[in-house]
Chains A and B, each alone.
Chain A
């Protein structure tokens, strides 16, 4: 049977209409009751993130407890850089998400200056504030305003593989840099590459952490208050450069990214590495033998410097959009208190291996041995200071890898490395 053209046209229009209706159907917001407050939470703690399963569980439990009054909806954004771009765009457009993960650094702290974020300073003055680890609220305070709740923190000690150290005849991790270079020579003699390094990625993460450890050892807890023209930064660059020379790291470290740096440690090719507690899960699952022999410690003492420092920083805070609606504000506070309740923090910490800014008691539960070492490293640190990246804007952090690449390729001396950083800050 042949349909006339007009009928076919109408049928096509009808089909197109149906498609359009289905395309717009994304608009059908929540089927929530009229009085229910829906809070959207675009978060990076989804997908493969180690905190994802427990975060999902905690949100589900919160929603169940507040059924009919508050509902938190997770909007998954696993791509970290994309997430930051999206947040920047949304905030620039004046449309702040109800709740979001705030990555504390000099760039994002600029969000504090406007009137778009909720200020929690009054709420934290009570018993809620007492649950946080000392100093973490101060670190999230700018101009007496706390526009983000300190949440996840990290320390990034030196990791080393004791089995490889034993193979090279090294009893314990070196205390000074002189001993460190001697240990590197022994490792090389045993056919083991001493350190994992990288100049690539967005921030040359592993090497940037090494640099931060050396700078902290040379300059003390207030080192980041000094200008980059201070001799400490050039001395630290010279030590970092040595880590790239004489076979002290792998050949692919120049241009290598986190996969290269971490991959060599996981494979047992390198003996020394740096990363945070979030990497525990990866070592445990991908390289159980390396995991079994991994120990963490402080960096060796720098010549003329101090020892026992650790690099630690606020990793992620929680922030929310400012609202004039007191009921909505109360809903946000209620959720923030739920997510930072010590018993919930304990669950998420035990499940993911991550460290948090809220104090909680560890009982008889089995704590991951490596996570326990992290906790001890933090407790035993002579002082904890933040890393290079946490003290500069995003563009300067990106310049670090570029400057490092030039230095290790012999195109720049340590002084020129520092000059390039100074130029970027200007």
Chain B
């Protein structure tokens, strides 16, 4: 029997080794750009341009000082935090109410309304630049953080409604019926029953909106003009001019800017994964 088991054991181990090698390969492919970015952020520009894959001869911590001092990164960090959290909150509030009505309140044409809202996912950002510019300027919100907040919240509504709708639709109708018997109004059914039970979907959608708001560049450039309303992504571009780019200081700014998003992902990654997979099963 031992002779029979050995080949199977070897085959299992070989399969396991192949699996780990396969995973290791993709881990390297995934992490390599990040590691390269961090290492490059400690080089001089000449070193970066001439030896892009080497270890820095002398680690240039001054790049990080440049990153903070030249672009005023600390203020832009604050703006980005405010914009990202506020737009996420506003988006989740609006999208959850929309998803609640579409998924829980049967009315004629609710599927059509859902499809129209979700079709917004397919509209490229660039197609909305002129209307958003006119709208925000017309409202007197040009060059304000609030202008960015409502734009980000609005742009992300299609994807949020799509994600939250799937969760809300899967909640058993009996729970709502019991709440109605206990005297809950429409608003109370939303705030006390459906909203809390959809938290997985809300967190998933919220994480997407947060990451979008944190990384967004085009609208931030379009709708702001001064430092008082600028975000981090614009600060990173301070190291790039028409013909010359200070790559290493720019990379230092990028490294600093991605730290919070990594933290957000670490904090919520289990909910994001759960949210994505359970949403997929429930359709």
Chain A residues close to B by CB (< 8 Å): 19-20, 23-27, 40, 42, 44, 46-50, 52, 73, 75-80, 82, 85-86, 89-90, 92-93, 95, 258-260, 262-264, 266-267, 269, 275-276, 278-279, 281-282, 286-287
A-B contact pairs, 19 of them (CB 8 A): A23-B144, A26-B147, A26-B229, A27-B140, A27-B143, A47-B238, A47-B241, A49-B242, A52-B241, A78-B237, A80-B241, A82-B237, A85-B218, A89-B130, A259-B49, A259-B245, A262-B49, A275-B243, A278-B244
Asked whether any CB of chain A lies closer than 8 Å to the CB of B247, the reply is yes
- Closest-by-CB residue of A relative to B227 is A76
Tell me whether A269 and B221 are in contact (CB under 8 A). Answer: no
Partner of A281, one of B46, B82, B237, B244: B244
CB contacts (< 8 Å) of B147 on chain A: these are: 26
Whether the Cβ atoms of A95 and B241 lie closer than 8 Å is no
Chain A, Cβ-Cβ closest to B247: A259
- Return A250 CB to nearest CB of chain B, in Å: 11
State whether A75 touches B226 (Cβ < 8 A).
yes
Number of interface residues of B (CB under 8 A): 45
Q: B134: CB under 8 A from chain A? A: yes
> B50 to A267, Cβ gap below 8 A?
yes
How far apart are the CA atoms of A77 and B217 in the complex, in Å? Answer: 12
Chain A residues within 8 Å of B234, by CB: 79
* A243–B279 alpha-carbon span in the complex (Å): 56
Using Cβ atoms and an 8 Å threshold, which residues of chain A touch B218?
82, 85
Does B141 sit within 8 A of A, measured CB to CB?
yes
Please name 7 further chain A to chain B contacts, defined as beta carbons within 8 Å, in addition to the given A23-B86, A92-B130, sorted by A numbering: A23-B82, A24-B146, A47-B70, A47-B238, A77-B225, A85-B129, A95-B133
Cβ contacts under 8 Å, B155 to chain A: none
Query: Does B149 belong to the interface (CB within 8 Å)?
Result: yes
How many A-B contacts if CB must be within 8 Å? Answer: 127
Q: Is the CB of A82 within 8 A of B129?
A: no
**B274 beta carbon closer than 8 Å to chain A:** no
Contact: A26 with B145, CB < 8 Å?
yes
B: which residues have CB within 8 A of A?
44-46, 48-50, 70-71, 82, 86, 129-130, 133-134, 137, 140-141, 143-147, 149, 217-218, 221-222, 224-229, 234, 237-247
Q: What separation, in Å, do the CA atoms of A276 and B242 have in the docked complex?
A: 12
CA of A42 to CA of B234, assembled, Å: 14
Contact residues in B for A42 (Cβ distance below 8 Å) = 225
A266 touching B46 by the CB < 8 A rule? yes
User: Do A23 and B149 form a contact, CB below 8 Å, given A80-B241, A93-B133?
Assistant: yes
Hey, which chain A residues are within 8 Å of B247, CB to CB? 259
Residue among A40, A279, A286 making CB contact with B45, cutoff 8 Å: A286
Interchain nearest-CB distance for B148 vs A (Å): 9
Point out the residues of chain A lying under 8 angstroms from B224, CB to CB: 26
Q: In this complex, what residue of A is CB-closest to B150?
A: A23
Q: Are A79 and B144 in contact (CB under 8 A)?
A: no
Residues of A within 8 A of B130 (CB): 89, 92-93
Q: A23-B146, A26-B144, A93-B134 are in contact. Are A86 and B221 (CB under 8 A)?
A: yes
Shortest 9 CB-CB distances between A and B: which pairs?
A: A263-B49, A26-B144, A267-B50, A49-B241, A79-B237, A23-B146, A75-B225, A47-B238, A26-B229
Q: Which residue of B lies closest to A354 (CB)?
A: B243
Which A residues are CB-close (under 8 A) to B228? Answer: 25-26
A residues less than 8 Å from B146 (CB atoms): 20, 23-24, 26
CA–CA, A389 to B145, complex, Å?
38
